[in-house]
Amino acid sequence: TYSPLSGSDSGSECEHTCVNFSFIKYFGSQRRWDAWFQRQEKEGSGERRASAGAAAARGAVELVCKPSALANYLKKHCRTFTDYATCAGWTWRFSVFILSAFELCWPYYSPVQFVRDNLQLSDDGLVALDWAVPSYQKRRRTSSHSSSPVLLIIPNSFGKITGNLLKLCEVALSHGYLPVVFNRRSQNATPLTTPKLQQFGDPTDLREAVRYIRYRQPAGRLYAVSESSGSGLLLSYLGECGSSSYVTAAACLSPVFRCQSWFESGLCWPLQWALTLYQKMSLSRYRTALAATVQMEALFSSCSLRGVEEALFCQTGTSSFSITSGAWDAYWERNEPLRDVDEVAIPVLSVCAKDDPVRGDAQSTIPLELFETNPHFFLLLTERGGHLGFCTQPEKRAFDLGASASYFGMEGCVSNWSHRAVFEFFRATTDFFSVEERSKQLAAKRRGLGGAAGRAFRHRSISTCKRVPACSHNIHAIYNWQRSYTR
């Protein structure tokens, strides 16, 4: 049975109940692990001094991009791009697989809380937008007149909320952003109101969510960050929407680029088993609801990520053995993240490590030619870091958190270099385009095109995005009553 959100009575405005829910529901504490890192740091300090040159080589960062004015600006103003040094406490004591598993699965306590918007889509499906707020903030609703930038965060394709994502929300808040996490249909307690799940690279739901975010926060610029396999959805959205994406700049942390081959080659056995089991557990509650469109027998008998994906989206008949290679290939023709990559019209930063055990071998899984030929794509490639690792030496203050540092517990903790690189990238690209806009205004005035032309420049988005055509349905009427707050 399906239970879509009920709207408000006609003629009266809907009363919404804001329910704050903490990330504690997802994870436990990580303080012991941070303390362990600091002990290892003290024990290894002498050794690091003796092998500083080798450590620097291990933590080398390479910026791969096509030469351009923006690339030169980033090299000049993004100091984080060149100061990556891995934690000596784990680089030789632990394998990269252990580090990656820690980042993906280890419980992490965060005082950041969520306010959830359940957004009803044009086909009556639901996606959830979780707005992150610090625990010390008494006011839970964010004003629609706020000019603070919005950070749209896309988790991995399985909907797993990782410690890396929670830390990213903390850092985003400390930098003045409004973080919002996009949850796909049925993921992270999002109600499933239609017998339809979101395909791997189908940006339809994300497009409607972005329009809603712009409707709710019209004055703030929009940035986007994705992690792991969730980068497939972000790249699909940016490619399909082109200059109408509304996004100023985007970043992908440990992305998976060649997704069809990634599903076909499979992960190492422990990760394959864990992620497959996680998907089955998440979908088990909808066994009856999805039975009409999904062969549940094939789904729950699958022992690989490819098997689950095929059972969900590549069934061509009523039999559990009706999956064909043609259906699988056709599915990826519609969902491969790089299918429309030439249409991407904003700067996109990808942060990858050569030793990433989830993505696979760097030479065959990272499309270096894309970054060398497309001026919108930038790659930070490190020697070490694993999958979403990128831990650097503990610092007393990783960021200028001000009075909020004690709330976040950031002092003395292992910091994530990729987060610093992302926010520095956003700042630098914003500054670069602001300078470009001012130069255009001055050039227009010199040519005698002041007045209306100057005003047009001032009102243009920093990413020079076109406005999205109006929806076929009344977007204002929908968002007046179909937004609600749930647990």
So which residues are the catalytic ones? 356, 387
AA letter at 377: F
Contacts of 111 (CB under 8 A, 6+ apart): 22, 134, 135, 407, 408, 409
- Angle (CA) 236-104-270 rounded to 5° is 100
What is the token pair recorded at 62?
A: 């390479």
What is the token pair recorded at 150?
A: 């919005």
Answer yes or no: are the C-beta atoms of 259 and 367 closer than 8 Å: no
List Cα–Cα distances, 150 to 49, 80, 246, 315, 457, in angstroms.
Answer: 41, 22, 11, 38, 22
Could you write out the DSSP letters of every residue in 172-234? HHHTT-EEEEEE-TTSTT----SS----TT--HHHHHHHHHHHHH-TTS-EEEEEEGGGHHHH
The Cα–Cα gap between 81 and 423 comes to: 11
List Cα–Cα distances, 42 to 47, 59, 149, 401, 410, in angstroms.
Answer: 10, 19, 38, 25, 18
Answer yes or no: are the C-beta atoms of 345 and 299 closer than 8 Å: no
How many angstroms from the chain centroid is the CA of residue 453?
A: 36
Sign of CA dihedral 439, 442, 447, 450: positive
Q: Which residue has the tokens 């879509």?
A: 4
Contacts of 88 (CB under 8 A, 6+ apart): 40, 41, 44, 47, 48, 55, 393
| Strand-strand pairing, 150-154 and 178-183 | parallel
What is the token pair recorded at 283?
A: 């979908």
